[in-house]
Amino acid sequence: MNNKAHLFLVTLALTAAACLLVSSWIGTLLSVETVAADNKQKAETSNASLPETVVEARGRAQLLHEMIHGSLQVMHRDFFREDEGLKIPSRSLDDVFLELASKHQVKVRWLAVDAEPMNVEHKPRDDFENNAVKALKSGKTDFDTIEGESFRFAGLIRLPSQCLKCHVPRRTNNKERAAAVTITMPLKLKKQP
């Protein structure tokens, strides 16, 4: 092969490599811009879906509470068998709570009311949770407040007599007890002009 042909092939190879490199950079830039745009759109969509009023937040929290309470009762009834070594339903719902926090900025956690906590993490952590426990022990079915830009809700979870062998092992009666679930969600506050 003569020098001109060799030079031509080297130039062609270098040009192809440069084109691939530039194409890769453009793809990376477009990918970064697409990811940034997607993240911005997700943040705007997430913020747009935040409740604007306490009434709206309370309604969402009550609906979410009822879904959690009902699911827990049905899962305990239909799937949990103490002697089979299965994961308890509340632990399965913890995975759902992680998704709610990650995708919707809604924090949910279990709260002991008038039974022994099944986990030390279920003890009240702050003034809201201590006040919620007092309210629920007094006979209320829910308790809520606004803290900063967040709506906080605590809803009663019934512990009927069949639940007491685990939740109140040293009981002297089969009186129904209670736990709770707390729900914290951000409010989209309207800016004052």
The predicted-structure confidence for 48-60, as pLDDT tens digits, reads as follows: 688 888 899 999 8
What letters, b where the CB count within 10 A reaches 16 and e where it falls short, cover 179-192? bbbbbbbbbbeeee
Tokens 């008038």 correspond to 114
Give the residue among 191, 99, 189 at the shortest CA–CA distance from 151: 189
Classify domain 54-186 by CATH number: 3.30.450
State yes or no: pLDDT of 21 exceeds 50.
no
Q: What angle do CA 105, 186, 89 make, to 5 degrees?
A: 45
Structure tokens, 140: 């209320």
Which range has highest mean pLDDT (36-50, 109-123, 137-151)?
137-151
First to last CA, the chain: 78
State yes or no: pLDDT of 9 exceeds 50.
no
| 114 or 173: which leads in pLDDT | 114
State yes or no: pLDDT of 113 exceeds 70.
yes
- Give the orientation angle of helix 54-79 with respect to helix 89-104, to 10 degrees: 150
State yes or no: pLDDT of 12 exceeds 50.
no
If DSSP states are collapsed to H, E and C, what string results for 99-110? Answer: HHHHHHCCEEEE
Residue spans per domain, the chain? 1-48, 54-186
The predicted-structure confidence for 170-181, as pLDDT tens digits, reads as follows: 656 566 677 899
